Amino acid sequence: MDLINPEPIIHERKNLKSNTDRTTTSEDQRDAIDPLEIFEHIRDITDPEHPYSLEQLNVVSEDLIDISDDKSSLRVQFTPTVQHCSMATLIGLCIRVKLMRVLPSRFKVDILITPGGHSTEEAVNKQLNDKERVAAALENPSLVQMVNNSLQGPKP
Amino acid sequence: MSGEELLPQRSGDSLAVHKARLFRKQQDDDEEEETAEEESSAEDVKLQPRIDSIALARGRLSINTDATSPAGSVEESLSRKSGGLKSKSPKQPKPKSPKKQGVRTRFAEDSPETEGERSNSLAGTLSNVGRKLSEAFTFGKSRSSSISRGEEKPAPEPEPVEISAESTHGHTDRVWSVTWSPAGDFLASCAGDKTVRIWSEAGPSGGWHCAAVLEDSHSRTVRSCAWSPGGRQLATASFDATTAIWQREGQEWEQVAVLEGHENEVKSVAWSPSGMLVATCSRDKSVWLWESLPGNEFECVDVKQGHSQDVKMVAWHPDGDVLASASYDDTIKLWTESDDEWICAQTLVGHESTVWAVAFNTSGSQMVSCSADTTLRVWNCTSNVDGDPNWKLATTITGYHTRPVYSVDWSHQNVIVTGSGDNAIRCFVQPQQAPSEVPGISLGPGGAFQLLGCKEQAHDADVNCVQWRPHHPSELASCGDDGIIKLWLAHELPD
């Protein structure tokens, strides 16, 4: 089977300073969700093609995440490994589904290809941000299976 | 992508007639069992990752979060307890660790004061022309705190009065659409839970109850529904690529026909004002026209290709001779009949993204469209030299919505209402046509539309649909991704 990108560049998994060392003094205090937290959720999503994570393939990174907890808005940009990657929509969908499952429902999430990152980025972005299309796609069992496989995380 | 086959239905092969789809009045106690049965007998394997398991307590919508988060978990989503809601264990095996309850949809009743305060503080900033949206009525079952029409909760002076929000329960997934019957006595709602619910007023106390649940029919999300002009039939359009026709006999609803033919998800259905035609549209980029024949036979009379993308909505002009279709291709097409064939008379270009909906004013002289580009566009109908209608952009209403606008409707009092992904419901009016009793509106330049009022956080999630109630001026229904349906009353503020 021909891979779209037979020789991906693998990056190291970064050791990022985590917020979890902070102890919350009271239950009422809630730390604002920051880009690192979002990144922690999506870094280990597996690429559909290769047994590597999106972080290792540099598809997602912490600096491509913009979040405003106050405004309940989040924008995640991702960079497909190659310009014509046909998996781009699927990768974006995996990111969306993962975030849908872990974030409070108040968040408005935009998933976009890093500008200049794909030959048909407008078309991919439009699909990824059309909630009716996403909802219909997620009623397709085989597509959901593919997404779930990617969300399982790195294989042991 | 969905793999459904095109069924050859063009030449009026009619349709499987499904008899014995009986209406069942949903009792609170039965709800849990019945929904459980429904899920386990699903025809296909339906994985719904967005809502992995559903709390069934009185239709509360609860979104389960994935607890497999690594170090640095999202504190907020996991620490919010759902206070007693039980989750149903997932039917299909999933390669995940057990989930924890996530965010629970906030019921308005949980914190009416907070909601009231928040709305009141917005009232001062947003409304400057003397009208405002507030919530009225109850829309649920056995609410001991139900508030009847006209009774209003006292609000802190001198802000405008807010009626405590009470809203309906029942759907177990996002509600995509609400549609009033032509007489304004029934409200049909359709949802991702594959059902359609019919709501009616429960009596003089002003409460609402669920009169019927239309289920076991569609195998996927029901996206939209439309009443026949006589109010006796209801068409329901689904992602399962079919449109079902239901008929009411007294208290019972029965499925009498199924329109098949679209290649994939049907997004919208609309009944012509004469009752003779039904239009449907789909992600397959086509618009289908069906003729309603005696004996609940429906014959496809035309299939219109023309849009280059997914068609999101169809709507009939009040005169019944023009059909508008709104599309993911950013355009609106107007279709008219010419020699037994339907043609695309005009394509309206202007929106910069998906057009989600269109609505005509009462006289049919104007049309408003709403889009993912966060604007509304108002189009005027003029006649060109041949007497054919010609639509032109009159004005663009911009700068108000911050997310896609999913729904728009135009009232007989000439007020435009919108529902948006920014959780708000807004009303706009064209000053020189504004009802005379609205104080404080000055004529804008060139008849520009003005914001009449805005209800922020009308829902705790995207507002998917808004519709004015026929024969009940200033009343409207809304529904959203929070699974809730609300009934609103736009009323004058004391000046």
Q: Which CATH superfamily is domain A31-150 in?
A: Fe-S cluster assembly (FSCA) (3.30.300.130)
Testing the interface with A: which of B46, B66, B92, B104 to mutate, by most A Cβ within 10 A? B66
- Asked if A27's CB is within 8 angstroms of B69's CB, the reply is no
Q: Which secondary-structure segment (H or E) carries A25?
A: none
Query: Of B234, B311, B260, which is closest to residue B9 (Cα–Cα)?
Result: B260
Q: Which secondary-structure segment (H or E) carries B427?
A: strand B425-429
Average pLDDT over residues B149-172: 39
Location of structure tokens 């969300």: A151
> Looking at chain A, which residue has its C-alpha nearest residue B241?
A136
**d(C-alpha B180, C-alpha B359), whole Å:** 15
Average pLDDT over residues B349-353: 98
Residues 85-104 of A with CB under 8 A from B: 97-98, 100-104
Average pLDDT over residues B197-223: 88
pLDDT (0 to 100) of residue B39: 38
C-alpha distance across the termini of chain B, in Å: 56
For residue B303, pLDDT over 70 is answered with yes
Lowest mean pLDDT among A92-106, B115-129, B254-268, B378-392: B115-129
Residue with more model confidence, A31 or B8: A31
The dihedrals phi and psi of B316, each to the nearest 5 degrees, come to: -90, 145
Paired with B428 in beta bridges are B416, B451
For residue B216, pLDDT over 80 is answered with yes
pLDDT (0 to 100) of residue A42: 95
Task: Please give the radius of gyration of chain B, using alpha carbons only, rounded to the nearest integer.
Answer: 22
Residue with more model confidence, B246 or B440: B246
How many residues in chain B?
495
Residue A17: band (very low, low, confident or very high) from pLDDT cuts 50, 70, 90? low
CA distance to partner chain A, nearest, from residue B271 (Å): 22
- Asked if A143's CB is within 8 angstroms of B75's CB, the reply is no
- A82 and B CB contact within 8 Å: no
For residue B151, pLDDT over 90 is answered with no
Average pLDDT over residues B483-489: 89
pLDDT (0 to 100) of residue B201: 86
pLDDT (0 to 100) of residue A83: 85
Lowest mean pLDDT among A47-51, B377-381, B443-447, B490-494: B443-447
For residue B335, pLDDT over 70 is answered with yes
For residue B35, pLDDT over 70 is answered with no
What type of residue sits at position A105?
A: S
Q: Is B224 exposed, middle or buried (0-12, 13-18, 19+ CB in 10 A)?
A: buried
Location of structure tokens 């408003």: B368
Residue B204: band (very low, low, confident or very high) from pLDDT cuts 50, 70, 90? confident
**d(C-alpha A50, C-alpha A32), whole Å:** 34
Residue A142: band (very low, low, confident or very high) from pLDDT cuts 50, 70, 90? very high
Testing the interface with B: which of A69, A125, A134, A139 to mutate, by most B Cβ within 10 A? A139
Most confident of the ranges B62-71, B115-124, B265-274: B265-274
The dihedrals phi and psi of B116, each to the nearest 5 degrees, come to: -60, -45
- Asked if A104's CB is within 8 angstroms of B77's CB, the reply is yes
For residue A74, pLDDT over 60 is answered with yes
**d(C-alpha B79, C-alpha B61), whole Å:** 18
Per-residue pLDDT reduced to its tens digit, B253-266: 999 999 999 999 99
What percent of chain B stands above pLDDT 70?
A: 61
Paired with B436 in beta bridges are none
> Looking at chain B, which residue has its C-alpha nearest residue A36?
B72
pLDDT (0 to 100) of residue A60: 96
- Per CB-CB distance under 8 Å, the chain A contacts of B238 are none
What type of residue sits at position A125?
A: N
Domain ranges of chain A: 31-150
- CA angle B236/B303/B363 to nearest 5° reads 65
Sort strands B277-282 and B242-249 into parallel, antiparallel or unpaired. Answer: unpaired
Lowest mean pLDDT among A121-130, B102-111, B263-272: B102-111
**d(C-alpha B308, C-alpha B426), whole Å:** 31
For residue B432, pLDDT over 50 is answered with yes
pLDDT (0 to 100) of residue A18: 56
> Looking at chain A, which residue has its C-alpha nearest residue B105?
A105
CA distance to partner chain A, nearest, from residue B445 (Å): 34
**d(C-alpha B203, C-alpha B196), whole Å:** 22
The pair of structure tokens assigned to A129 is 């941000």
Lowest mean pLDDT among A19-23, B38-42, B469-473: B38-42
